[in-house]
Amino acid sequence: MPARHSDGPRPDALVRRLLAVAGQGDRPALTEILHPRFTITEPACLPWGGTHTGIDTYITLMTRIGESFDIAFTRERIITDGPTAVLGVGEHPAEK
């Protein structure tokens, strides 16, 4: 059992789990990891740029990106501060 804060798993553990299932369209796993109103913002210069809200929207986003690139997430460091976790350094190689 992972170490827990008073209201759930450690934030870094959640980021690790998210990276493990990102792009797989595994809705049950994402439902366990993400808040229903989860928001991710991609740079406006990308074809899929903008703010995306919700688990189904995230799956659609990752599917769209996956249609353009073969993506792998490599976590090097996760920075945590209380309930917040940020992927501090990482490589996201994409090929197609």
Q: Is the pLDDT of residue 73 over 80?
A: no
- Rounded to whole angstroms, the Cα distance separating 65 from 16 reads 20
Look at residue 4 in the predicted model and tell me its pLDDT: 39
pLDDT at residue 52, rounded to an integer: 94
CB 10 within 8 A of CB 1: no
Percent of the chain's residues with pLDDT above 90: 6
pLDDT confidence of residue 88: 59
CB 26 within 8 A of CB 95: no
* Residue found under tokens 């919700």: 54
- Helix then strand count (H, E) for the chain reads 3, 8
Q: What is the pLDDT of residues 15-46, one digit of tens each?
A: 888 888 876 778 888 888 888 888 888 889 98
Residue whose entry in the numeric block shows the structure tokens 């980021």: 15
pLDDT of residue 59: 87
- Residue 93 CA: distances (Å) to CA of 6, 25, 73, 74, 81: 36, 19, 7, 8, 27
Percent of the chain with pLDDT over 70: 74
pLDDT above 90: residue 72: no
pTM of the full predicted structure?
A: 0.64
The residue type at 80: T
CATH of 8-95 among 3.90.25.10, 3.30.1360.30, 3.10.20.30, 3.10.450.50: 3.10.450.50
Tell me the domain boundaries of the chain.
8-95
